[in-house]
Structures are given as structure tokens and as C-alpha cells.
Structure 1
Amino acid sequence: MKLAPIFDPAARKSAPKPIQVDLQKAFLSITALWVVALVVVTILLALDMTNMQPLIVCVAGTVIGIMMLIWEHFHRWDYRRLGK
């Protein structure tokens, strides 16, 4: 019965164990993509083929990516300990 876990907590399956992910690689690759997009948009802006809005978005993405890399550096021990 699909409603059994709602009425009987003992019928629920146990939660899966969290997967340990290297956040530094994830944040670094996404930040690198934002930097590439920033270079492309800067070139397009220099050729007068776009406006400032995409440049602002790419700068924001790059800054957020750098902030996430800094956060990951200071919290690396915590999330690696929780993944074990």
C-alpha cells in the first residue's frame, strides 16, 4: 500500500546515505564557465553586438563562484566529515 508510510512510520524505507562530492571541483568548473562567458560577452560588447546586461550577469556569476570557492575552502573539513 502506497499510503502505509504516511500512517505507519515503521513501514518507511531508510534514507539513503549522502554521496560525498568534491565541491571544489564543482565550484571551480562552474566558475570557469562563468569566466569564459565573461570573456565572450566582453568581446561582443567591444564589437557593439550586445548591451551591458549580459556583462553584469557574467560578472555576478563569477563573483558568486569565487565566493563559493572561498566558502568551500573554509568549510571543507565539515562537509567531508559529515560525508563519512
Structure 2
Amino acid sequence: MTPQHSPEPSLQPPPLPTALLRVWPVIGAGVAGFCCATVAAFTVPALEGWRPVSLAGLGVGMVGTTIFLVQRGAARRGARGAQTGLEHE
């Protein structure tokens, strides 16, 4: 018997559903969480230790969102060095 060679199927995973590609709900949840933590840190005296972390979280979130928006704009313009897969809103 000779083994039959069949072409190997493509190992590409199926595309993710559009709901999982939306970035704004994730960004909104992160901002809301850090805003709540910041308000709590500055209003509840026992949570004074949270102040630097909550402010840093808000700052890092703003920087990350800015980088995302710049990269998405570059991808939409077709810039050569831009990331791919950022076209979903």
C-alpha cells in the first residue's frame, strides 16, 4: 500500500467576532475603574496609599489610548510602519 498524501489544511484560526474586536468598551471600563479608584483614594482617608497608583493608572491609560489613536490613524492613512488590525471601532 502506498500512503496517499493529501494537502495539509490551512492552520489559520477563524476570525474573531466583531464584538471582541471593539476597543472602546475596554478603554471605557479601564477609565471608569481608575476614575473610581482615584475618587476613592482622595476622599477616603484610609485609601491614601492608592493615590500614586490610581494617578499613574490614569496617566498610563491616557498615554496608551493616545498611542492607539495615533497608530490607528497611521493605519487608516496606509503608513508603512503602522500596525495592522486596528480598523475596528
TM norm. shorter chain > 0.5: yes
| Pair 50,14 (structure 1): closer, same or farther in 2 beyond 3 Å | closer
% of aligned pairs identical? 13
Give the match for residue 14 of structure 1.
12
**Aligned length in residues:** 69
TM-score, normalisation: structure 2: 0.58
- Could you say which structure has the greater relative contact order, defined with CA pairs below 8 angstroms and 6 or more residues apart? 1
Alignment gaps of 5+ in structure 2: 1-7, 76-85
Give the match for residue 47 of structure 2.
50
State the secondary structure of the residue aligned to 1:72.
Answer: helix
Counterpart selection for 2:58 from 57, 62, 67: 62
Give how far 1:37 is off.
0.9
- Structure with more helix by fraction: 1
Deviations 1:24-73 (A, max 9, x none): 3321331121011100111113xxx2342x11111111111111221121
TM-score, normalisation: structure 1: 0.61
Q: Report the aligned-residue RMSD.
A: 2.5
